[in-house]
């Protein structure tokens, strides 16, 4: 059974979704898993709706890929995704977008994660080596 890979990104960086999907397609067979994203913008329904949507999408994921841009570490929702990924026992991979200077989400500072270069080969390597952890 293929892994379920949650991809965390800032909604301001929507092109990340297309890039990660392209990397998956160009590496057919190299990256073993199915990508899932928070695609529904429910922000107009309030914070509880956002939290429910994140929980719904991240539930059951084996791996969480955090794509870091300039301000991801300051985002309360990306930190919430990190907290949920950790509590779900997901293996964490962090990859920094080229030419950005943002840090990892604060929730990951004291948690084990793999760091991958923003390249198909390195992402493939780290995503494939990840195994879901036992729930904390």
d(CA 44, CA 65): 26
pLDDT digits (tens, 9 = 90+) for 75-104: 788 899 999 999 999 999 999 888 888 888
d(CA 16, CA 73): 16
- Reported as a pLDDT band with limits 50, 70 and 90, residue 113 is very high
Q: Whose CA is closest to 136, among 106, 110, 105?
A: 110
Question: Would you say how long the chain is, in residues?
Answer: 136
pLDDT at 13: 72
> What 3 state SS string does 1-39 have?
CCCEEEEECCHHHCHHHHHHHHHHHHCCCCCCCEEECCC
- Containing H/E element for 94? strand 91-96
pLDDT at 136: 45
Q: Whose CA is closest to 97, among 121, 118, 72, 81?
A: 118
Neighbours of 35 (CB within 10 A): 18
Task: Reply yes or no on whether the pLDDT at 129 is more than 60.
Answer: yes
pLDDT at 71: 65
> How confident is the prediction for the chain on average, in pLDDT?
84
Catalogue all structural domains in the chain, each as residue range(s) with its CATH number. 4-129 (3.40.50.10140)
Q: What is the mean pLDDT of residues 57-65?
A: 93
Say how far residue 62 (Cα) sits from the centre of its chain.
11
Share of the chain above pLDDT 90, in %: 36
Neighbours of 110 (CB within 10 A): 6
In eight-state DSSP terms, residue 66 is E
């Amino acid at each position: 059974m293929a892994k379920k890979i949650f991809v965390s990104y800032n909604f301001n960086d929507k092109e990340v979704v297309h890039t990660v999907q392209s990397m998956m397609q160009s590496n057919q067979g190299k990256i073993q898993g199915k990508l899932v994203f928070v695609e529904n913008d429910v922000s107009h329904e309030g914070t509880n709706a956002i939290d429910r949507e994140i929980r719904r999408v991240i539930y059951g994921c084996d791996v969480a890929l955090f794509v870091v841009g300039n301000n991801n570490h300051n985002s309360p929702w990306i930190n919430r995704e990190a907290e949920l990924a950790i509590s779900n026992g997901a293996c964490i991979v962090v990859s920094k977008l080229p030419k950005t200077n943002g840090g990892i989400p604060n929730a990951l500072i004291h948690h084990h994660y793999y760091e991958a270069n923003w390249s198909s080969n390195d992402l493939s390597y780290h995503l494939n080596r990840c195994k879901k952890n036992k729930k904390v």
